[in-house]
């Protein structure tokens, strides 16, 4: 087929996919088709919030996508939804999840979608520093 040899990753955007009676079956489906589950970080406490869970469903690839934690995630403009500067503490919450994904997949891609200004680049640099075990920078 046209996509032979390509890796697929699926990011679920509706919280219903994470319901306790459905989530395990969803992960099993992804495993069955060798597709990566995309773990996401978004603001919590909103009707559209998705839980910060990670699962390695493909031995080849795992994906984490950090959108930012703007309270305008579900309602704001594009700029408002993605306007967030991750703190070292917020990024550190993801370290155990990223390391667990690395134990279950050959590659882990961590993507930053908090794309206002240089926020994504700054967060990627901070995450790289934290993953390597360097001491956080002082403010």
What average pLDDT does range 1-29 have in this prediction? 92
In a domain, 57, yes or no: yes
Query: 3-class DSSP state for residue 61?
Result: strand
The pLDDT tens digits for 77-102 are: 777 677 788 999 999 999 999 999 99
Provide the edge-to-edge strand list for the sheet that holds 107-112: 9-10, 36-41, 61-66, 107-112
Cα 84 to Cα 87: distance, rounded to the nearest angstrom: 9
Say if CB 99 and CB 51 are below 8 A apart.
Answer: no
Cα 55 to Cα 125: distance, rounded to the nearest angstrom: 24
Reported as a pLDDT band with limits 50, 70 and 90, residue 136 is low
Parent domain of 35? 9-131
What average pLDDT does range 61-89 have in this prediction? 84
Residue 116: CA count within 13 A, CB half-sphere: 14
For the cut 80, the answer to whether the pLDDT of residue 23 exceeds it is yes
In a domain, 18, yes or no: yes
Hey, which residues does 111 pair with through a beta bridge?
65
In a domain, 138, yes or no: no
Single pTM value for the model: 0.89
In a domain, 120, yes or no: yes
CATH code where residue 55 lies: 3.20.20.410
Cα 86 to Cα 63: distance, rounded to the nearest angstrom: 18
Total tally of structural domains belonging to the chain: 1
Cα 37 to Cα 123: distance, rounded to the nearest angstrom: 22
């Amino acid at each position: 087929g046209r996509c032979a040899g390509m890796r697929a990753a699926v990011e679920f955007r509706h919280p219903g996919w994470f319901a306790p009676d459905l989530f395990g079956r969803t992960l099993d489906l992804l495993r069955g088709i060798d597709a990566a589950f995309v773990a996401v970080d978004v603001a919590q406490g909103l009707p559209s919030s998705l839980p910060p869970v990670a699962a390695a469903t493909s031995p080849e690839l795992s994906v984490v996508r950090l959108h930012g934690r703007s309270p305008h995630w579900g309602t704001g403009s594009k700029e408002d939804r993605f306007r967030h500067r991750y703190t070292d503490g917020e990024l550190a919450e993801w370290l155990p999840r990223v390391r667990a994904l690395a134990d279950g997949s050959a590659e882990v891609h961590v993507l930053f979608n908090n794309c206002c200004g240089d926020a994504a680049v700054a967060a990627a640099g901070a995450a790289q520093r934290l993953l390597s075990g360097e001491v956080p920078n002082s403010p």
